[in-house]
Structure 1
Amino acid sequence: MRLDPIQRAIDEDLVRVLYAQDPIAFFTHWFSIAVLVAIYWPAVPSPPLFVACFGFYAAANCGSLALWICNRRYPRLASPRGWIVLHAVRGMLLYSAPGLAIWFAFQSPQADLPLLHTVMLVTLAGGVFMSNGFDLLNFSTAIPFLLFPSIVMHFGTHTFDRTILAIVLAFFFCAINVYAMSYRKLFRQVVQARVDQQYLAESLAEQKHVAEEASLAKTRFFAAASHDLRQPLHAIGLLAASLNDTAATPVQHAKTAEHIVYNVEALNQLFNQVLDLARLESGVTQVIRLHFRLAELFERVGSQYRPQAAAKGLALRIAPTAMIVHDDPVLLERVLSNLLSNAVRYTEEGAIWLGVRRAGQAWGGYIEVRDSGIGIPAGEHEQIFEEFYQVANPQRDARQGHGLGLPTVKRLVELLGGELQLRSAPGRGSVFRFPVQAGEAGGIVASLNETAAGGPSTQGRRVLCIDDEPSILEGLASLLARWGCSVRGARDEAAALAVLAQGFVPDAVLCDYQLANHRTGAQALSAVRNALARAGHEGVVTLLITGDMASAELTALALQGIPVLHKPVTPARLRRTLEMLWQQAELDRGRAAAPVSGQRSAPMSGPVTDPALPPASALREANADDEV
């Protein structure tokens, strides 16, 4: 993945190093031309060829200088690799002239000229090694043209001393190539180390920036949360103090109590919204997809917000649809509830529209919520998805919400695998839309509008409760007993197994997550299930209850579809969860028995028909507002 950036960095460094030495090479080659001409001048063999050869040498040297000037003045004229190739062509032309000029030494009557010329070539080869050895292309296009003609000419004389010299030159050629390979490897390592340091510095700078942004966001979040939490607490404190006023009339006391209840409800709503965001951020919110009729979900959320819309004189229109979707109905209901709540809050006249647009998409369609409200300026389209940010509420009036609805909606839509889209302008209303997947009619197992009371009754059910807090055990036992359940309590895993050993076979096991002796509820439930399985009792409903938000094990349990409720758990939520789990368990047993009795089983598609997965509405804190 990092090969290309490193290679580019190597190329950029090669260009700088190669061209940095060209001015010195220019004067070196002029010195070489002067020395060679002086050596051959007393008896020039083949004058026309000599003039042509050394004229070409001088022209190539001047062209090398021109290329250097061009690189300095117009560095963006070519890519780094392009400049390297041009420098290699320059080297091939420049070093071929002195290399081929060895022929003149063997044509001269002076016996020592081949040796002198060879010494000059070896000197130039040393310069090539120093200046071009770290680049394979430049080195391999210069050294062969410089040394091969000399090696061939010395071997061709068939004399002992020249043959030895040719062998030495060949060995020198091989050695200089080996050293050049090491030179290139070292150069690459140096550049790679520099690039690694640069990446590390950039990464640290980026992480520092992210940390600073997160710190600022956390500061803004806590500042806004502190303000919105302090407001109702301050009001409650003042109102509670006023109850001690003996001069106040019963009517005033009743009014004060009403205000206290209102502020407590506002505080509870804000607290639940913050917990919702915390659960989404921690990754413990589970997605359980079911096949269901979208019209039923529309009717559920519509019936909830029609009275509020009517109180403001708004029309809440829900487009009829026969579409069946495959999605999480609980999380989807949470999304629509937040969007409709915002639409009602920020619309003073006109209408609100909820519907789905297929737009010819075979895979599904888009759910849209439209309103004719105040609209959102284009510059605030990103900001509205930040926690506690609100349009047109600089006074932070709690009656207009707390600015947590849309951040929750965005995270829920992303959790469901979609993207929340927004079209809005001031005075022209807003349109929120997100995708949903089409489902299958054969995959529907129940209607969303069936009440929990219509499911299996709690009367006569046997429940085993595991919790190391005596007050919680006592509270659960009292609550479940009022529902008609037979309850046994256990402080830890060993006590729970002892209850089972006494012959108590539970229909459900409720277990706290954090137990004494560094044990977890997941371990306790596993031990209980194993004990029940050995006794021939399988399919017992299990439920974890925890106040933990960020445990890695909880995240793993959520991915496995194991039911988890997060504290605080209301009695209505607990009862609804248990009844839905029992309902799912009975459906699973019915499907397992259907093939045996010769009946045709219902079509199974997706997680809804997997016996290991409980129903969606039994698994999340997202149903915090559901009442039985």
Structure 2
Amino acid sequence: MRADPIQRAIDEDVVRVLYAQDPIAFFSHWFSIAVFIAIYWPHVPSPSLFIACFGFYAAANCASLALWICNRRYPRLVSPRDWIYLHAVRSVLLYTGPGFAVWFAFQSPQTDLPLLHTVLLVTLAAGVFMSNGFDLLNFSTSIPFLLFPSILLHFGSHTFDRTILAIVLAFFFCAINVYAMSYRKLFRQVVQARVDQQYLAESLAAQKRVAEDASLAKTRFFAAASHDLRQPLHAIGLLAASLNDPAATPAQHAKTAGHIVYNVEALNQLFNQVLDLARLESGSTQVVRLHFRLSELFERVGSQYRPQAAAKGLALRIAPTSMVVYDDPVLLERVLSNLLSNAVRYTEEGAIWLGLRRAGRQNGGYIEVRDSGVGIAPAEHARIFEEFYQVANPQRDARQGHGLGLPTVKRLVGLLGGELLLRSAPGRGSVFRFAVQAGDASGIVASLNDPVTGVSAAQGRQVLCIDDDPSILEGLSSLLQRWGCSVHGVPDEAGALAVLAGGFVPDAVLCDYQLANHRTGAQALTAVRGALARAGHGKVVTLLITGDMASAELTALALQGIPVLHKPVTPARLRRTLDMLWQQAELDNGRPAGALLGDDTVGAVGAVGAGAACAAADRAGEAGKSREAAGSP
């Protein structure tokens, strides 16, 4: 792929070297003209032809100097290759004169003139080798015109000494061409080494700039994230301290607790958004494409934001469409949710429009979200996709978001294979659009809005919790017990096996991923499932909870049928996930429900794992519901 840059570099170097030696060659050729005239002057054969020949030689030498001056003054007048062609033409004109002038030596009565003229030609040929040998074109347009006439005339004289001289000249011609080939090869290697070194230097400089930019972006990211994380943490600390005030009334305690819950939820939302971006950057987010009706997805996201829009006096209009698309409904819902959330937040009056435009696309169209809000200045179009950057929130009021929505949207659209386009101007609202691919109506297996059983499946369930952190284990056990579950909490794999040996048969096993003594939750779950299978209980739901964003082992766990949730896990998210897993296990007649759940995954229960494609089709109706279970913003 780098042949063209190398060849251009070689051409540029050839031009520099060729034209650098032309001033010396100019004076050398005038000296040669003077010597030729001196040796022929006593007996000039065919004076008119002689004058014409050496007049042509002198004119060609002057033209050569004019070409050199033009190259020096206007180096970009033509391309390097064209300068080489022009120099080759100059070589033809310049070396034709002395080469064909050997004919005058054979016409002269002086018998030593052919030998003397040949010596001068060999001298000029040596100069050509030094100045033009590294370029095939210029070398091949110089040497033949210098030596061929002399070789032919010496052979044609039919005398022994002239024939020997002709053979020597022919050998010299071959030898100088062989050496010129080696010269050109060496020259190319030197230039290629220089180009490689320059290419490497430029590549290292570019990588250094990228690393510096990434480091700067990382610094800005953590500075902004630190600010937004510290705010609710600071508030929680102050509020928690006030709970210890013995003079506070129960009503004040309740109000303080409510503020704590609000800040915890804000903190959790920010964590989820930051982890969302991190998982997208790490490449662990998977795409599961389904055939579904776009109108159903529009109605889902529209129902979420109509109340907010109505509260501000805005009209949220959703254009009807019969389009069936082939895409990931979960990731697409996240994109539209973020875009509608921003549209509602930054629009004070008017309307918001969501719909599909064909725009000339034969196999799909463009989803557009339009608003009549404040708009975005062209200078800000690129910056709004930076993390934590908000045009209309210089005070960084957390109630207006954290500036992570649009960066997430841009990455999600890119992950789906599209490009997020923006058209906006101050006071004229904004339009966000991206392409979607048309699907096949015959491939639809369920509606996105199919309801999931509303009754909780947790009541009366037996749950085994494995976590080496006592506070998390206590909080998890307390939460499950409030839901009506019978809970056994143990710190490790050995404790879990002991509980099972005591006759406890769980309906679900919840396990942390990183356990003590260098054991993992995957190993613990394998041991627990094996023990239950040996006891004849192989239908237990298992759920792994981890703080890891992405790893090859987590993907392998999904293939084993072990669902995964990523911390932080809200109670609503955990309950929804357990309900779905229990319901799925019952619907599948005891078949284990295997899926990778969480913000970094896509599709419904069963969308990832063994038989992923069939499971995704079976669970298409649960696509939006699983995202809710995953706690996505």
- Measured against the shorter chain, the TM-score band is 0.7 to 0.9
1:16/1:530 CA distance change after superposition, 3 Å: farther
Partner of 2:87: 87
1:439 correspondence with 2:444: no
1:118-133 equivalences under 5 Å are 118-133=118-133
- State the match for 1:154 in structure 2: 154
Corresponding residue of 1:598: none
The answer to whether 1:326 aligns with 2:330 is: no
Tell me the CA shift for residue 135 of structure 1: 0.4
Q: TM-score, normalised by structure 2?
A: 0.84
Give the corresponding residue for 1:35.
35
1:184, distance to aligned residue in structure 2 (A): 0.9
In structure 1, what is the Cα distance between the partners aligned to 2:62 and 2:524?
Answer: 86
Structure-1 separation of matches of 2:236 and 2:477: 33
Whether 1:610 aligns to 2:614 is yes
Residues 290 and 608 of structure 1 are in contact (CA less than 8 Å); yes or no, is this contact kept in structure 2? no
CA distance in 2, matches of 1:298, 1:359: 19
In the TM superposition, residue 102 of structure 1 has moved relative to its aligned partner by 1.4
Counterpart of 2:168 in structure 1 is: 168
Aligned to 2:218: 218
Q: How does the TM-score come out when normalised to structure 1?
A: 0.84
CA distance 1:337–1:147, shift in 2 (3 Å):
same
Give the stretch that moved more between structures: 526-535 or 231-240. Answer: 526-535
1:596 corresponding residue in structure 2:
none
**Correspondence for 1:595:** none
Do the aligned partners of 1:324 and 1:440 also contact (CA within 8 Å) in 2?
A: yes
Q: Give 2:593's aligned residue.
A: none
- Counterpart residue number, 2:185: 185
Which residue does 1:551 correspond to in 2? 551
> Partner residue of 2:600?
none
Q: Paired residue for 1:310?
A: 310
Deviations 1:95-145 (A, max 9, x none): 111111111212222222111111111110110000001100000110111
SS at match of 2:569: coil
Cα drift, residue 300 of structure 1: 2.0
- Consecutive unaligned residues of structure 1, counting only runs of 5 or more, are 591-605
Q: Secondary structure at the match of 2:348?
A: coil
Separation in 1, partners of 2:200, 2:386: 30
Residues 154, 163 of structure 2: 8 Å contact kept: yes
Cα RMSD (Å) of the superposition?
4.2
Structural mapping, 1:86-485, within 5 Å: 86-359=86-359, 361-453=361-453
1:603 aligns to what? none
AA aligned to 2:119 is V
Which is worse superposed, 464-473 or 254-263?
464-473
Counterpart AA for 1:434:
F
Question: Cα distance 1:134–1:325, how it changes in 2: closer, same or farther (>3 A)?
Answer: same
Post-superposition shift, 1:500?
12
> Separation in 1 of the partners of 2:231 and 2:34?
93
- Change in Cα spacing, 1:329 to 1:509, as seen in structure 2 (3 Å) is farther
- Which segment is superposed worse, 72-81 or 343-352? 343-352
**Cα contact 1:276–1:622 (8 A) shared by 2:** no
Q: Is the 8 A contact 1:291 1:443 kept in 2?
A: yes
Give the SS at the match of 1:370: strand
- Is the 1:286–1:559 Cα contact (8 Å) retained in structure 2? no
CA shift digits 1:487-522 (9 cap, x unpaired) = 999956x99999999999999887765567877777
Post-superposition shift, 1:537?
12
Question: Match for 1:262: what amino acid?
Answer: Y
Deviations for 1:451-505, whole angstroms, at most 9, x for unmatched residues? 333799679999998877798789878978967799999956x999999999999
Deviation per residue, 1:326-362 (Å, 9 max, x gap):
2112111111211121122112222222222234533
Kindly provide the CA deviation profile for residues 518-546 of structure 1, in whole angstroms up to 9, marking residues without a partner as x: 77777888999999999999999876543
AA of the residue aligned to 1:42: P
Give the 3 Å change call, closer, same or farther, for CA 264–506 of structure 1 in structure 2.
closer
Q: Structure 2 vs 1, CA of residues 216 and 74 (structure 1 numbering), >3 Å: closer, same or farther?
A: same
Correspondences of 1:448-527 after superposition (within 5 Å)? 448-453=448-453, 514=514
**Whole-Å separation in 2 of the counterparts to 1:451 and 1:313:** 30
1:243-274 per-position Cα deviation (integer Å, ceiling 9, x unaligned): 44444444444433333332222222212111
CA distance in 2, matches of 1:207, 1:536: 58
Q: Which amino acid aligns with 1:324?
A: V
- How far the C-alpha of 1:564 sits from its partner, in A, is 4.2
Report how far residue 57 of structure 1 moved: 0.9
AA in 1 matched with 2:551 = S
Aligned to 1:594: none
2:251 and 2:501 map into 1 onto residues whose CA distance is 59
The answer as to whether partners of 2:330 and 2:624 remain within 8 angstroms in 1 is no
Structure 2 counterpart SS, 1:332: helix
1:324/1:441 contact within 8 Å kept: yes
For 1:24, what is the secondary structure of its paired residue? Answer: helix
Worse overlay, 410-419 or 428-437: 428-437
Change (3 A) 1:360 1:204: closer
Distance in 1, Cα, partners of 2:339 & 2:567: 25
What is the CA-CA distance between 1:613 and the residue it aligns to?
8.3
Q: CA deviation at 1:559?
A: 11
Deviations 1:354-397 (A, max 9, x none): 22223453322222222222221221111111111112211111
**Following TM superposition, by how much is the alpha carbon of 1:84 offset from its aligned partner in structure 2, in angstroms?**
0.4
CA distance in 1, matches of 2:29, 2:274: 77
Distance 1:487 1:252, change over 3 A: closer
Following the alignment from structure 1 to structure 2, what is the Cα–Cα distance between the partners of residues 489 and 619?
Answer: 31
Q: Provide the secondary structure at the position in 1 that maps to 2:366.
A: strand
Q: Secondary structure at the match of 1:352?
A: strand
Residue 74 of structure 1 and its aligned partner are, at CA, apart by 1.7
**Residues 518 and 421 of structure 1: CA distance in aligned 2, closer, same or farther (over 3 Å):** same
Q: Give the secondary structure class of the aligned counterpart of 1:453.
A: coil
Larger CA deviation: 505-514 vs 44-53: 505-514
**Paired letter, 1:624:** A
Structure 1 residues 178 and 399: alpha-carbon distance in aligned structure 2, compared to 1, 3 A threshold: same
Q: For the Cα contact (< 8 Å) 2:57–2:97, is it kept in 1?
A: yes
Counterpart AA for 2:211: A
Distance 1:490 1:402, change over 3 A: closer
Question: Quick one: structure 1 residues 476 and 119, their matched pair in 2 at CA, closer, same or farther if it must change by over 3 Å?
Answer: same
Distance (whole Å) between structure 2 residues aligned to residue 213 and residue 3 of structure 1: 30
Amino acid at match of 1:353: W
Distance (whole Å) between structure 2 residues aligned to residue 179 and residue 35 of structure 1: 28
Would you say the 8 A contact 1:465–1:488 is kept in 2? Answer: yes
> 2:632, 2:217 → 1: CA distance?
32
Is 1:10 equivalent to 2:10 in the alignment?
A: yes
Q: How far, CA to CA, are the matches of 1:28 and 1:7 in structure 2?
A: 31
Q: Deviations over 1:310-338 (max 9, x none)?
A: 22222222223332222112111111211
- 5+ residue gaps, structure 2, are 591-607
Aligned to 2:565: 565
Task: Give the distance between the partners of 1:336 and 1:211, measured in 2 at CA.
Answer: 32
Q: Taking structure 1 as reference, are residues 50 and 329 closer, same or farther at Cα in structure 2, changes over 3 Å only?
A: same
SS at match of 2:439: coil
Contact 1:572 1:626 (C-alpha < 8 Å) held by counterparts = no
Verify the 8 A CA contact 1:276 1:621 in the aligned structure 2: no
Amino acid at match of 1:229: L
C-alpha separation in 2, matches of 1:139 and 1:382: 55
Listed one character per residue, the Cα deviations across residues 254-307 of structure 1 (whole Å, up to 9, x for unaligned) are 433333332222222212111111111111112111222222222222222222
Secondary structure class of the residue paired with 1:389? coil
**Which residue identity does 1:448 align to in structure 2?**
L
After superposition, residues 558-597 of structure 1 pair within 5 angstroms as 564-574=564-574, 576-577=576-577
**Equivalent residues of 2:334, 2:632 under 8 A apart:** no
Is the Cα–Cα contact under 8 Å of residues 477 and 487 in structure 1 kept in the other structure? yes
Does the C-alpha gap of structure 1 residues 78 and 507 become closer, same or farther in structure 2, counting only changes over 3 Å?
farther
What is residue 599 of structure 2 aligned with on the other side? Answer: none
